[in-house]
Structure 1
Amino acid sequence: MHIRLATVSDAEAITRVHYNAAHGLRPANFYTEDILNSWAPSPSAEHRINRFRSIIESDKEVVVVAELDNKLIIGFGAIIISDHEIRALYIDPMYEHQGVGSKILQHLEELALAQGVNILKLEASLNAETFYIRHGYRVTQYDYHPLSSGGQMKCVKMSKQTTQTLENNE
């Protein structure tokens, strides 16, 4: 597995990973089906694929993918360095608990450090809170994330001093 910058041709696979990751949460009962469908609609929805294409093409957000055997995308992450914000990190449930998310997160943190960012923030889904805590993030607030449907999804706002990442990797 390796981490690389996403390309526009990765948009469909990214949409699939996002859908699988969000809908794979059902057994944990973190969110209702309505919220899941609004948060991660069908991976074949052309507007979703086009949205990810636009994000990848933009200069605002850096999107990376975790790729297996140079062809299968099993996870992705995104960061807006100018806002000091990790925007997304999703792993296909078939590849959870194999270090994929940790590697993507480390890569995003290294990108931020290289740009002089000394603190990162994020809004995590409730199921991801323990993952981020294990990686040095601290809860700053429980809140709601607005969804494109007009609904809201419970989330947890978190932050981390990025200098911790550098010190932990030395």
Structure 2
Amino acid sequence: MNGLIIRPARVTDAPGLADLFHRAVHEGAARHYDAMQRAAWSPAPPMGEDWRRRLIEAQTIVAERDDRLLGFMTLDPMTGWIDFAYVAPEAMGQGVAETLYAVLEGRARAAGLTRLETEASLLAERFFARRGWRIVTRQEVERHGVRLPNAVMAKDLSRAATCAA
């Protein structure tokens, strides 16, 4: 992607990433979740120390172009858990998620992780499946009294699984 920069998140990115997350839920996921589900998922952009800590404690990488945040993903380098994988609605379909994911999976492999896991939204499920992830189970999580369907997904990074793919 032309001019796309992938870099570690900074504490100062927290407000912009909160806004990006909120817009991705409300605009980007609109074809997959109704208004009530999106409002329960993200009633407002997350704020405060808990949000900043969640971003910084994970290995969070961001994509930006011309000083505009276009997406971010997080990886727990100890467990292989991907907590956040979001792209700004105006940047969806432009290779931002693919680039972020390639960097994240490369870091996971370099760290010696043998498995990645996530809870993928209905929107993200196809993205992960195209990259060799499999559905472990389908579930519904409850947020603010509203049920949101998603899929627990995993990817085996072991050498044997890579060779067999």
After TM superposition, the score normalised by the length of structure 2 is: 0.86
CA RMSD of aligned residues (A): 1.9
**Cα deviation, residue 162, structure 1:** 2.2
What is the correspondence of 1:115-134 to structure 2 with a 5 Å cutoff? 115-134=111-130
- 8 Å CA contact 2:9–2:56 kept in 1: the answer is no
Q: What is the aligned length?
A: 157
**Cα deviation, residue 154, structure 1:** 0.8
SS in 1 for 2:15: helix
SS in 2 for 1:13: helix
Alpha-carbon distance between aligned partners in 2 of 1:144 and 1:68, rounded to the nearest angstrom: 35
Please tell me the residue identity of whatever aligns with 1:94: E
Alpha-carbon distance between aligned partners in 2 of 1:135 and 1:128, rounded to the nearest angstrom: 11
Q: Which runs of 4+ in 1 moved over 6 A?
A: none
**Cα deviation, residue 108, structure 1:** 1.2
Q: 1:36 to 1:120 in 2, by over 3 A?
A: same
**Does 2:27 match 1:24?**
yes
Alpha-carbon distance between aligned partners in 2 of 1:83 and 1:100, rounded to the nearest angstrom: 24
Fraction of identical pairs, as percent? 28
**Cα deviation, residue 25, structure 1:** 3.8
Alpha-carbon distance between aligned partners in 2 of 1:115 and 1:150, rounded to the nearest angstrom: 38
Matching residue of 1:63: 60
Any idea what the Cα deviations from partners look like across 1:126-147, whole Å, max 9, x if unmatched?
1211111111111111012343
Matching residue of 2:8: 5
**Cα deviation, residue 27, structure 1:** 4.6
Please tell me the residue identity of whatever aligns with 2:36: D
**Does 2:155 match 1:156?**
no
Alpha-carbon distance between aligned partners in 1 of 2:30 and 2:40, rounded to the nearest angstrom: 18
After TM superposition, the score normalised by the length of structure 1 is: 0.84
Please tell me the residue identity of whatever aligns with 1:129: E
**Cα deviation, residue 163, structure 1:** 4.4
What is the correspondence of 1:59-98 to structure 2 with a 5 Å cutoff? 61-69=58-66, 71-98=67-94
- 8 Å CA contact 2:30–2:38 kept in 1: the answer is no
Q: 1:67 to 1:119 in 2, by over 3 A?
A: same
Alpha-carbon distance between aligned partners in 2 of 1:25 and 1:67, rounded to the nearest angstrom: 18
Alpha-carbon distance between aligned partners in 1 of 2:135 and 2:56, rounded to the nearest angstrom: 31
Any idea what the Cα deviations from partners look like across 1:25-84, whole Å, max 9, x if unmatched?
4651x22322211212323xxxx12232122333xx111110112x11110001112222
Matching residue of 1:53: 52
Please tell me the residue identity of whatever aligns with 1:119: R
